[in-house]
Each structure stands twice: as C-alpha cells, then as structure tokens.
Structure 1
Amino acid sequence: MNGRLIGLLTVLVLVNFVVDSAITAPLVVLPEMLDHFGTDQAAWLNATAMLAGVMWAPLLGKSADLHGRRKVLVLTLLLSCAGALLCAVAPGLWLFVPGRMLQGASLAAIFLSVAIVRGAFPSRTAMIAVGVVTSGSAVLNIASRFLIEDLASKYGFQVLFLVSASVAVVMAGCVHRFVPESPARTPGRIDFGGALLLGAGLGGVLGYISLGSDFGWLAVGPLALLAVGVTASARWFLVSSRKPDPLIDIRDLRGPLALLLLVVFLASGSYQSMLQLIPLIGDVSADQRLGYGLADQGSVALLLAAPGLGVTLGGPTAGWLAGRVGPARTLAAAVVLGTAVTLGMFLGVSRLPAALCCAFLLGATVGALGTSGFNMAGSLAPPERQGIVSSLVMVMVSIGSVALNFVGAAVLASTSVAVDGETVNSATGVLAYIGIASGTFALAAVLAVLLARDTKVRN
C-alpha cells in the first residue's frame, strides 16, 4: 500500500470522526442542553440528528452515484458544519432542532467513505480498508469524550458544536484536496419527490417511536407523526414501483440484498440497545439489592471504554477475514458472536469481569458487523450504484438502532420499581431487556447463516 492510499485512509477515518462529533458526542452534554433550553424532551435534542440522517442517506447516496462521491461528501460535511453552527448560536429549540437536522446529513459520510474506498483499492484490500475507515475513529471518540466534557464545563455546551463545525469544515477541505473523484457514474436524475415522500415516511414513523415514550403513545402529536409517516411511506411505495428511475428501486430489494438489509436491521438494533444498557447497569451498586449492578466492583470507566476498543479491533479484523472467506461468512460469524455476547450479559449484569469481557466483544461485534455489512452490500452492487446501495445499509442501521433502543426503554419503564422513594429499573426489566436483544440477535444469526449459504450457492 503506497503513501497516497495511506493518506486517503487517514482522511476518511477523520471524516468519520466528524460523524461522531455530530451524532453521538452531544450525549455528553445532554443534561446541560436540557437545562439551557428549559425542557425535559431529550428526544428533540438527541434523536433528531439520527432521524434526519435516515432521511438524508438515500438522497445523498443517489446524488453520489450521479454526480461523484467526493463532491457529495464535501457537501455532506459542509451541511454538518452549517448545522453545528446553528446549534451553537441557537437561542431556542426553534433554531436548535433544524440545526440538528442539518447535522444529521453527516451520517452519509460513513457510507460515502466506504464507497470511495471500494473504488480506490483492489477488492481484497478494500475489504480491510473498509474496516479501518468504519472503525478507526473509535479510539479518537473515546479520547474526545474527556476533552469535550472538560471544555463544556468551562465554556458551556456550545463549545461542542463549535468544535464539530471546525472539524467538519477542515475535513471538507481535506476531502476536496486529497480524495480523488470517482469515475463511475449512473445516468439519470434525482427523484426529489420520492426523496420527500421517503423522508417523510421514515421520519414520521421513527419520530413516533422516538417521541411517543416522552409525549405519550396516544398523544395527538406522536399519532399525527405516525399517520403522516404511514401515509407518505405507502404513497412512496406506490409511486416508486411505477417510476423508471426512482430514488430507491424497490424492484431490486429482493434476494441476498433484502436478506442482508434485514440482518443489519435486527443485529444493529440489538447491539445498540445493549450499548444503551451498559451505562445503566454500571451506575447501580449491588448494595442496592436490585439483583444487578456493577458500580461498587471496580472502575466502571473501563466498562464504558471497552466497546470502543473492541470496535477498533473488530472492523479491520472483519475486513481481513472477508478477503479470505468472503463478506457473507464474516457477517454470519459477527452476528453469531453478537448473539453469544448478548447472552453472556445475563451474567455480566452482576459481575464486572464478565461485563468487561462482554462489553469488549460487543464492541468487536459492532465493528465487524458494520464492516461486513458494507462489504457485503458492495459485493452485491455494480460500481456505479455503490452509493445508493451503501446508503441502504446505513438506513437499516439507523432504523434498527432507534426502534430497539426505544423498545428496550419501554420495557425498563414498564417494569421499574420504587426504592426509598426513587424509581429504579428492576432486575426483571433488565433481564427481559437482555432477553429481547438476545432473541433478536439469534433471529439475525439464523438469517445471516441462510445468507451465507445462499451466497455460496450463487458463487
């Protein structure tokens, strides 16, 4: 591998660091944001970017196939920069929420980076490079948490968004300067009407899932979002099935690709829900006699850092394996590992060594699953359609994450107990939470094995 390709990988790893600064890093300062805006609606501040990212992904993926991946990646980073600046200066939610929606465009940087790598590297090397690009920023993400927490305590939460905007605009310049433009092009045009319908459909349904737990599942606002989402999705399906050049051709969503997307949806939702559970059990002491808890057994900071280290190892390892046994088999192995690790958390909820092991392996699963999913999608798509097909993987990751996170939260809320006047999660709720994640992972494992067999037969 020559210096130019190493430089390309470095730039794309840093590009994916922008995604973390825009999507997940604001969780570090979530309490400060809630106090500043005088609200208890965390979903508006946190989930908006992820939901908007689901809407941005197909549009930017299709645009990349039509107009060039580098050009659209630069646009994506500039949109994220503009959103971060709006969030930094927003006097109220009326400007902060649109800012978060613009930041959501940064999700497209992940699959655009993957598409650029697959076009720049030979096939076997590209599989390893995908793992490096999708997982290499994990260590930077861990270190940045401590820095952002310190800066926010001194200068306010707005500093996070100023840092995010600065990193995004610098990386936009680096991408324009150092990343070659892809020669592959897909003839056609962008179906903006279909993009609006698809965005409204996904946003409405996911918005209902995200906000229903805060406002009430039968409240007028969430139900209106659900109605808009279902109506728009149905309309998009009917219209797209008739157009000659739709945003997403649903006629292609069959066979191995459809099975891959279902596996990604189930597995991503499962591991994200488990990552959400880890800090909850790490904040409870066994002395409270709730039947779980790790807070008094050692350094819980290691428990929170372990997944990041696992991601860094899991991504490149999965890329290396994919080059030897194929992405389908590697994907199946990653999902089977995730199933075993999730089952291990039945023991890990009360024993720190087991929890540390499971947290690390869960991170490895995250890295391996993301790398294998993108590699598998890339192997199923021609060069001129890498952008849109990779965007579908990102959409499934996002939808699965939102859906299973809120399912898990609803289970915990419905089984909570009162101890000394304080509402806490019960052992029943925690174990049921793990059971749902394990069952979903097991279903994904069965489908992943079927996908691997189907791919072997086709080859």
Structure 2
Amino acid sequence: MINASALKLPTARIREAGPYREENAVRDASPPLFNARPGPDTAVGRLDARSTASCVLLLVPLVLLTEVVALELSLVYPALPAMAAEFRTPAIGWALTVVSLVGVVAQPLLGKVADAVGKKRMITLAAVAFAAGSLVCALAPSFPVLLIGRALQGTCLVIAPCAYGLIRDVLPPRAVPVALGAITTGLGLSAVAGPVIGGLLVNAFGFRAVFWFCLAYVLVLTPVLVLTVPESGVRLRRRVDLAGGVLFGAGAAGLLLAVGQGSSWGWAAPRTLAVIGGAGVLLALFVLCELRREEPLIDVRLLTGPALRWTLLATFGGAFAIGGQAFVVPLLVQTPKLPGYGLGADALGVAMFLVPQGLVGAVCGPVGGLVARRRAPRTSFLVALAALTAGAVILAMLHAEPWQVLVAALVQGIGFGFFFVSASNLVVEAVPATHTAVSAGMMGVANNLGNATGVTVLGVVLAQHVLRADQDTGRIVYAESGFTLSFLLAAAVAGVAVAVAVFMRGGRSPATGGQAGPVHV
C-alpha cells in the first residue's frame, strides 16, 4: 500500500467521535507524483455542487450492480427443485446457506478492506469474484462444485454495505436517505425481474441458464460502474484481521451445520454436540481476540453499544423471516395440488407471487427512506418488521388458494421494502463516517446470519414433514403441517424483532444522512 505521508497527500483531521479517534481518516486526492486529472478513479469528497439529476445519473450504475446481491437469490429460488433433482440431493438449501455463510465472513472482513482501499474498488473486485462463481455454477458437474461456485458468488454480498458507504461519502447529505432507499428499490426491482427471468430460463434451458445470465449481467455492468462512478475519499488505514475472520466464519458455519444436520445425526449424538461445542469455542476465542486487538475485524464494543446492538438483533429477526420464507414459499407454490395446500405451479408460476411482492418492495424502498428522513428510521423499521410478521401469519393460516398466497406476498413486500432502507439508515445515524462500511458490514453479518439460520431451521422443519419422495425425478413433496409450522416459526421470530424495535432507544429522530454524528445513548 502506498504511504500517504510519503506522497504528501492532503489529509483532514476528523473530529474525535466517542471512543473512536478518526485522526487516520484521510481524503485522498490525486497524488502529485502521478499528475492525474480528476476522473472516475480519482478519490473525491462529497459532490455538494452537483445537481439532483447529476446525482441520479451517478447512482444508476451503482444501483444496478448492487442488484446482483438480490438476483443471486431471486433467480435461484425458482430453480431450487430443478437443482435438487439434477444433483439428487435433499440438502439443496445449502445452495442458499453457503452464500450467506461466505457473506458472514466477507462483509466485515472486506468491509474493513473497503474502508482502507476504497469502496468503489471493493465493489469492482466483488463483482469479478461473482462472475467467476457464476461460471463455476454454470459448468458444475456435481453438487459440491456447485457449492464452491455459490461460495464465490457469496463474496458479492459485500457490495451492498460498500454501496451504502459510497453513497454517504460521495452524495450531498440531503440526498443520502433517499439514495439509500434507491438501493432498496434496486433490490426490489431485482425481486420483480428475478423470478420471471429465472422461471423462463429454467423452463426453457434448465437451471444452468440462470448462472449464465448472472455472468453476462456483471460483465456488462461492472465496466460501466468503473467508468462513471467516483471513488470515495474517506480512508481508514488499518490492518485486516484475517485470523478474526477465520474464527468467526468457522464458528458461525459450525453452528449452522449443527442446526442443519442435527435431525439426521441426532440432537444428542456425539457428533452434533462436538460440532456445537467446537463452534462455541471458536466464537468465544473470536470475542476474546477481538477485545484484545487494537485493530479488530469487528469492534465488539461498537457492536454491543446501545446504538447498534438492538438494531442488529432486530435485523437478525427480520432477516430470519425474509430468508426462511423466501426459501419455503417457492416450495409451497410448486407443491402439487393437495387437500388444503399446494398450487401445482412450475418455476415460472412462482413469479406470479414474487413479482407483485417485488413491485411493492420497490415502491416502499424510497417511501421508507422518506419516512426515515421526515419521521425517524425506527418508525420505518417497525413498519417493516410488523409487515413481515403479518405476512408469515397469513401464510400459516391461509395457503390453499392463489389469492391467499398473493395477499401474504404483498404484505411481505411492504416489509421487504421498508426493512433494508430503515436498517441501513439506523446504522448510518449511529456511527462515524469512517466506520460506515464496516458497520454496514455488521448489519450484513446480522442479515446473512438471519437468512442462513432461517433457511436452515425452516429446512429442518420441512425435512421432518416429508409426505413422499419421487425416486425417479428426485422431487420431494412436503406435508401441510411442515409448511404451517415453518411460517409460524418465522412469524414468532419476526414478532420478537418487533418487540426489540419497540424498546430500542436509537433511531427516534429524523435521519440526517450521518450529519448529526454518531449516536450515544
């Protein structure tokens, strides 16, 4: 890494914020050594002089590329039954779980790298890794190879927190809350297009076409972002805690492995207990190591501070409901018509429910940003969690007719749209500017752990309620009781998140785009 002092780069001493000293944060300009002109790769400050139209033009490629975070899920959900049949595996849920597991490690680890080397640069590198993973998945000859490709795709989950940080660093303060909502709109639009594109591709060409599409998508958009979006000028030069990433990732993976395999291994079996115990030891070591490091992967004190801990806990609960239901609903919709449940749809038929949900989410993203700016981000958060809870309850009680599932999908779309923009605004308001990417990475950790846990736990519930399995095609049909219990469990977890949000003290004032300084309560 080039030494800033050796190049005599201009630095700006940032005010001390709570327990954090931001003296190492710098606004990098083009080094005189290179005599570079301002351009897309030149680090800049806020674009306060830019017009609203100019800011929108800069935001478009960032929003579109950030959509790969949702596309890698929304495209794959309709393909899950076909993938399970192709590889003859009942554990197809791991094609989703492994993405979240990689994200659990990648978001805090690469989020800190992004704070040091530039958020735009990290977004570009993550897009390249996603492209490589898409190629591996498209050519995968076996399920383990597919999981390797999905793991590579999982690195793209760092794109969203980096995009949040880039928005805060580059756009004018007045535009930040709504711009964060635009990112959510992008995620909502991918939720609209993903099921349709995925269903069409699976029905016409098989599940591999989904990954070829992902590859083409990032190969087109990444150069556009590189050429048009400016780099952030905020830098926090610190060492990357690789050991902490390994401990945290291995510990989280061990817990999810135990949850996912406990029913088949036996919950009291020595192997299950050993995995749980080993994961607990690794996570305990992680906490001890992080507390002693001057430059930790995750600042445990920041993580457990009042401004973040309740936000992250509630984010986990909301993500559990989102991820778990996103896994279960396509299975319910593609279940053959049976007394009381099952709609008998194909992969494209799933889009009939996910597209309206995505449209509602796309509309509610900017609305959630406006509510956060005019009222408070906690208000948006409560709307999101209440909608997610209500949608799960509806699905648990009513799932025999298409209109019933559609109503639940629309309610969940409200929750989806409000959820991400409110959580991101809560984080932006809680921490200093130089900690935005890594703190948003913590939000990503909570989100990914919630998603992975939701998929794993609800997958275990369904596995205990198998009605029949077709030995010829590999298709599995689950009993109605499995779907009902899954949705009730999702509702219960989301309901706990609502209770947490009701009593949390942070985020009760209108969002300022981070200009009010970090929250201390």
Distance 1:159 1:109, change over 3 A: same
Distance 1:69 1:409, change over 3 A: same
1:170 maps to what in 2?
220
What amino acid maps onto 1:258 in structure 2? R
2:500 maps to what in 1?
447
What is the CA-CA distance between 1:220 and the residue it aligns to? Answer: 7.8
Distance 1:148 1:237, change over 3 A: same
1:261 maps to what in 2?
312
User: What are structure 2's unaligned runs of at least 5 residues?
Assistant: 1-50, 510-518
Q: State whether residues 322 and 372 of structure 1, in contact with CA within 8 Å, keep that contact through their aligned partners in structure 2.
A: yes
Q: State whether residues 382 and 501 of structure 2, in contact with CA within 8 Å, keep that contact through their aligned partners in structure 1.
A: yes
Alignment partners' CA distance in 2, 1:13 and 1:70: 13
2:183 maps to what in 1?
133
2:405 maps to what in 1?
355
1:412 maps to what in 2?
462
Aligned length: 455
Matches within 5 A, 1:12-411: 12-37=62-87, 39-93=89-143, 95-152=145-202, 155-212=205-262, 225-252=275-302, 253-283=304-334, 288-289=338-339, 291-293=340-342, 301-411=351-461
Q: Could you give the per-residue CA deviations for residues 234-267 of structure 1, whole angstroms, max 9, x where no partner exists?
A: 2111111111111111011221200100000012
Alignment partners' CA distance in 2, 1:250 and 1:57: 15
Alignment partners' CA distance in 1, 2:377 and 2:329: 29
User: What are structure 1's unaligned runs of at least 5 residues?
Assistant: none
Alignment partners' CA distance in 2, 1:154 and 1:294: 21
Distance 1:427 1:2, change over 3 A: same
Distance 1:365 1:10, change over 3 A: same
Alignment partners' CA distance in 1, 2:507 and 2:277: 37
SS in 2 for 1:185: strand
What amino acid maps onto 2:451 in structure 1? S
What amino acid maps onto 2:305 in structure 1? R
What is the CA-CA distance between 1:36 and the residue it aligns to? Answer: 4.7
What amino acid maps onto 1:373 in structure 2? A
Distance 1:379 1:168, change over 3 A: same
Distance 1:113 1:220, change over 3 A: farther
Alignment partners' CA distance in 2, 1:154 and 1:340: 35
Which protein shows a greater Rg? 2
Distance 1:225 1:5, change over 3 A: farther
What is the CA-CA distance between 1:30 and the residue it aligns to? Answer: 3.6
Q: Could you give the per-residue CA deviations for residues 265-310 of structure 1, whole angstroms, max 9, x where no partner exists?
A: 0121123323334334434577x33x445569xx875323222122
TM-score, scaled to structure 1: 0.88
CA-based RMSD of the aligned residues comes to: 3.2
Q: State whether residues 294 and 300 of structure 1, in contact with CA within 8 Å, keep that contact through their aligned partners in structure 2.
A: no
What is the CA-CA distance between 1:11 and the residue it aligns to? Answer: 0.8
Alignment partners' CA distance in 1, 2:69 and 2:287: 30
Alignment partners' CA distance in 1, 2:60 and 2:306: 35
Alignment partners' CA distance in 1, 2:144 and 2:343: 40
Alignment partners' CA distance in 2, 1:25 and 1:240: 37
Q: State whether residues 201 and 233 of structure 1, in contact with CA within 8 Å, keep that contact through their aligned partners in structure 2.
A: yes
What amino acid maps onto 1:52 in structure 2? V
What amino acid maps onto 1:449 in structure 2? V
What amino acid maps onto 2:68 in structure 1? V
What is the CA-CA distance between 1:23 and the residue it aligns to? Answer: 4.1
SS in 2 for 1:136: helix
Identity %: 27
What is the CA-CA distance between 1:373 and the residue it aligns to? Answer: 0.4
Q: Could you give the per-residue CA deviations for residues 52-110 of structure 1, whole angstroms, max 9, x where no partner exists?
A: 12221111111111111111111111111122222333444454332221111011111
Alignment partners' CA distance in 1, 2:180 and 2:74: 21
Q: Could you give the per-residue CA deviations for residues 158-203 of structure 1, whole angstroms, max 9, x where no partner exists?
A: 3332332232233322222111111111132111121221222222
SS in 1 for 2:298: coil
Q: State whether residues 312 and 443 of structure 2, in contact with CA within 8 Å, keep that contact through their aligned partners in structure 1.
A: yes
Alignment partners' CA distance in 2, 1:83 and 1:260: 32
Distance 1:271 1:66, change over 3 A: same
Distance 1:368 1:124, change over 3 A: farther
Distance 1:135 1:216, change over 3 A: farther
What is the CA-CA distance between 1:143 and the residue it aligns to? Answer: 3.0
Q: Could you give the per-residue CA deviations for residues 82-139 of structure 1, whole angstroms, max 9, x where no partner exists?
A: 2222233344445433222111101111111111122223334211111111232433
What is the CA-CA distance between 1:51 and the residue it aligns to? Answer: 1.6
Alignment partners' CA distance in 1, 2:330 and 2:145: 31
After TM superposition, the structure 1 stretch with the greater mean CA deviation from structure 2, 177-186 or 43-52, is 43-52
Distance 1:338 1:229, change over 3 A: same
1:435 lines up with 2:488 in the alignment: yes
